[in-house]
Structure 1
Amino acid sequence: MAQLANNETVAVDPRRFGRVALVHDWLVSYAGSERVVEQILKLWPNAELFSVVDFFPEVLRSDVLGGKRATTSFIQKLPRARTAFRAYLPLMPLAVEQFDLSGFDLVISSSHAVAKGVITSPNQVHVSYVHSPIRYAWDLQHQYLAETRKLRGPKSWAARAVLHYMRIWDMRTANGVDEFVANSAFIGRRIRKIYGCAAQVVYPPVDVERFVPGGRDRGDFYLTASRMVPYKRIPLIVEAFSKMPERRLIVIGDGPEFARVRELARPNITLLGYQPSNVLIDYMQRARAFVFAAEEDFGISVVEAQACGTPVIAYGRGGVLETVIDSSDPRFGTGVFFYEQSIEAIVDTIKRFEARAPFDEEVCRLNAARFSVARFRRDFAGVVECAMGRHAGLLTDDQQALVESRE
């Protein structure tokens, strides 16, 4: 039995699942996808872990991975793999196919790149939790080429050839998955469009037991927090607030775009760089609103902010449409959307946000509670139970009704 935060339990009978393998793309940091891995390992603590590379922070390994070290691929030992493993993306399909999973009854892949491409047999059940199909190989290809300055020339054609190969491989390996699980309905639609398969939605776990309202007066500042990578659009938010010198913005996070953000920042914008979670929570509890400009698959930080009772100002595309309630009546809403990634749209939405009456902390909190760790464990365990039962032809009446309701 797996004990949950709110004293619920999920029955996970090892005799039913047999030997379990958990495959994750790469283990290098503790971000959204690794939180999913963490909770899957709480459900199946005896699962064996596989990953293309494992450079996970040792200080977190015991708490997050149960002290496990992954079986890794040959990429682990290639030059500069620790800092530049993404450069080996063209080799990752080959690498992940070399994992010998023949001795396992259940294979769970946690995939935003290549993990779902592991080779399994008809006698095994493969459940793939998809954070996203490979973003830059599919609908973000042109954005990737522009961001990496590979729109023309030999490097451009080489990159396009690699991405073409990745798309063919990615589509072919979809046939090896018995049950797709999407982290949002948005990603479920991408799975349907790309792989031609239906996916059940199980939202990722958010630590709503830790992200809580602070019981203090709100400050006079807005907050954004993220890894500073291009698609997160942190420079766009900073530029927008540079046009509003009377409004303060706090920025938490670091990454490749930090230098650019620093150049754009004006005196009303404070850059704090990376901060531990207790500092992030403190600012979330006191911010007027959390500002989010990315088209995200789910957006855990958006839910964390609401769990702190903080409303959200977000780009109205992707997963936020499922996690934020934009209502003309702030008594029932948890945020406000803008529908164009532009300075003007953000400035206008900030003004619209301020024109509304104060948002209710409790409404924000209750909305965030829908995405708890307990709910993830219960729903994901149920999906895997159904997949195993379907494979064995042993579905109970309740499980069969659940399967039919989701198809």
Structure 2
Amino acid sequence: MLEKQKIAITYDWIDKWGGVERVLLTLNEMFPQAEFYTSYYDSEKASWAKNLEIKTSFIQRFPSFIRKSRLASFPFYPYAFESFDFTDYDIVISVTSAFAKSIITRPGTLHICYLLTPTRYLWSDIKLYFPNKIIRSLLSCYLTKLREWDFIAAQRPDHIISISETVADRCKKYYKRNSEVIYPPFDIKYWDKIKSEIRKMSFRPKWRNAPKIIARNDKGGKYFLVVSRLEPYKRVDLMIKALTKEVPIRSRPRPPRYAKSYGQASNIGNGNKTNLVIVGEGSELQKLKNTASDNVLFLNKLTDTELGYLYNNAEALIMPQEEDFGYVSLEAQFFGCPVIAYKKGGASEIVIEGKTGIFFEDQSVECLNNALRKYNMVKYRLKRSTKEIGQKNVESYSKKIFINKFKNLIKTLSS
């Protein structure tokens, strides 16, 4: 019985909230006796983890400016995870896109890795993370050694589960290991409650840093939506560039007095007034703000009810990145919001082309603008079909399915 097994769950760092963190909470629900191990824990930014039993590495004792900086802590992460002692555990589950898979376990301990992706800045996205050729050249020897270590670390799990077919392909390519796919869980019951709350006539979002201009009947309130961590590989810059190229700043009407707060509407594709709303935080935030024109609104730290409200009223969710899975595309479809996505990565597996979304082939401003024009031609049909079949499609990725598959696999591997 799994209830009698001593289980540990490791994750790279517990310092934010996102789709992966929802997976961690589901694992905690599945294995309430489990202890969590991580490099460091930020209780302020990860308040969702306050009820978890968390053990941290020596990085937790570093000064704040070091432990909270990925760059400053970078050389210490491999040692942090290799220093953990899992001698007394029967099962260890590592959830990782970086270092947590490198843990060392005894022969009698079952180590299962739930792989979010092979480490992007070492394999698939080196140029995005290190765009400067000189810096990349100076770091080449170090990155080569780190890739060798990462490959060795990837051989340590007894079994690897990938979060999508896309990640399974990367795992085979970079780590030379086969893996099976179990998609991350989507909590239907939870999001049904959110949807019910939004339907209440009394609900209005209380934005922390913007006026209430995103209500359905607000003048100029049409908007495209981006929900993403603001990191280089997410390519949020593409959407900003697409808007800038589509409508020169000089052609826009004079913005109203509150334009600085939310962004003046611009013309996209067919000339309709549309805003771009970007929800998220990350290392690229300030850079994106500096390059964004006045039709872009940045929001962060939203509740799920506020986020659901955005999905419910958006023109479409834009996903210009190659996602490992694309959890937000499930959220959008659940609320009947069409998805416009780059035709690579997890989104291509879970969005139904022509039914719940449309795809573009290349990560370029031209291709994205073509997709926006295509959307404008089919948007009424696309919105209708997304509302009709979006939730049914999402049910294929339910939390119940995830729990059953994950537990059955562990039972099989443990027997």
The TM-score normalised by the length of structure 2 is 0.81
* CA-CA distance at 1:190 after TM superposition: 0.9
User: Is 1:39–2:23 an aligned residue pair?
Assistant: no
Distance 1:274 1:30 in 2: 9
Cα distance change of structure 1 residues 265 and 88 upon mapping to structure 2, 3 Å threshold:
closer
Cα distance change of structure 1 residues 273 and 13 upon mapping to structure 2, 3 Å threshold:
closer
Mean Cα deviation higher: 185-194 or 259-268 = 259-268
Amino acid at match of 1:23: T
Distance 1:294 1:208 in 2: 25
User: Is 1:317–2:315 an aligned residue pair?
Assistant: no
Cα RMSD (Å): 2.2
Alpha-carbon displacement from aligned partner over 1:123-174 (angstroms, at most 9, x marks no partner): 111111010111111121222210xx3x21xx54452233212211121123
* CA-CA distance at 1:273 after TM superposition: 4.3
Which runs of structure 2 are paired with 1:321-360 in the superposition (5 Å)? Answer: 321-327=348-354, 333-356=355-378, 357-359=380-382, 360=385
Distance 2:286 2:80 in 1: 34
Name the residue aligned to 2:254.
Answer: none
User: Is 1:74–2:101 an aligned residue pair?
Assistant: no
Name the residue aligned to 1:294.
Answer: 321
Contact 1:336-1:353 at 8 Å conserved across structures: yes
Q: Specify the SS of the correspondent of 2:68.
A: helix
Name the residue aligned to 1:262.
Answer: 289
Alpha-carbon displacement from aligned partner over 1:313-351 (angstroms, at most 9, x marks no partner): 011111111111113xxxxx1100001111111111111
Q: Specify the SS of the correspondent of 1:358.
A: helix
* CA-CA distance at 1:114 after TM superposition: 1.0
User: Is 1:373–2:399 an aligned residue pair?
Assistant: yes
* CA-CA distance at 1:265 after TM superposition: 3.4
Q: Specify the SS of the correspondent of 1:375.
A: helix
Q: Specify the SS of the correspondent of 2:410.
A: helix
Contact 1:291-1:314 at 8 Å conserved across structures: yes
Q: Specify the SS of the correspondent of 2:95.
A: strand
Name the residue aligned to 2:2.
Answer: 13
Mean Cα deviation higher: 295-304 or 48-57 = 48-57
Contact 1:24-1:110 at 8 Å conserved across structures: yes
Distance 2:188 2:240 in 1: 28
Cα distance change of structure 1 residues 92 and 59 upon mapping to structure 2, 3 Å threshold:
closer
Mean Cα deviation higher: 213-222 or 315-324 = 213-222
* CA-CA distance at 1:113 after TM superposition: 0.6
Name the residue aligned to 1:226.
Answer: 228
Cα distance change of structure 1 residues 158 and 35 upon mapping to structure 2, 3 Å threshold:
farther
Amino acid at match of 2:237: P
Distance 2:322 2:170 in 1: 13
Mean Cα deviation higher: 52-61 or 120-129 = 52-61
Distance 1:120 1:289 in 2: 46
User: Is 1:252–2:279 an aligned residue pair?
Assistant: yes
User: Is 1:304–2:331 an aligned residue pair?
Assistant: yes
Cα distance change of structure 1 residues 87 and 171 upon mapping to structure 2, 3 Å threshold:
same
Name the residue aligned to 1:387.
Answer: 413
* CA-CA distance at 1:267 after TM superposition: 4.1
Q: Specify the SS of the correspondent of 1:137.
A: coil
User: Is 1:90–2:81 an aligned residue pair?
Assistant: no
* CA-CA distance at 1:280 after TM superposition: 1.3
Distance 1:354 1:340 in 2: 19
Distance 1:262 1:137 in 2: 27
Distance 1:55 1:161 in 2: 32
Distance 2:366 2:314 in 1: 22
Identical counterparts, % of pairs: 29
Name the residue aligned to 2:165.
Answer: 185
Distance 1:367 1:24 in 2: 29
Distance 1:256 1:125 in 2: 35
* CA-CA distance at 1:277 after TM superposition: 2.3
Contact 1:187-1:297 at 8 Å conserved across structures: yes
Name the residue aligned to 1:240.
Answer: 242
Contact 2:35-2:52 at 8 Å conserved across structures: no
* CA-CA distance at 1:91 after TM superposition: 2.0
Q: Specify the SS of the correspondent of 1:283.
A: helix
Name the residue aligned to 1:117.
Answer: 102
Cα distance change of structure 1 residues 374 and 60 upon mapping to structure 2, 3 Å threshold:
farther
Name the residue aligned to 1:169.
Answer: 149
Distance 2:185 2:169 in 1: 20
Name the residue aligned to 1:275.
Answer: 302
Distance 2:303 2:33 in 1: 30
Length, aligned pairs only: 363
Which consecutive unaligned segments of at least 5 residues does structure 1 have?
A: 1-11, 328-332, 390-407
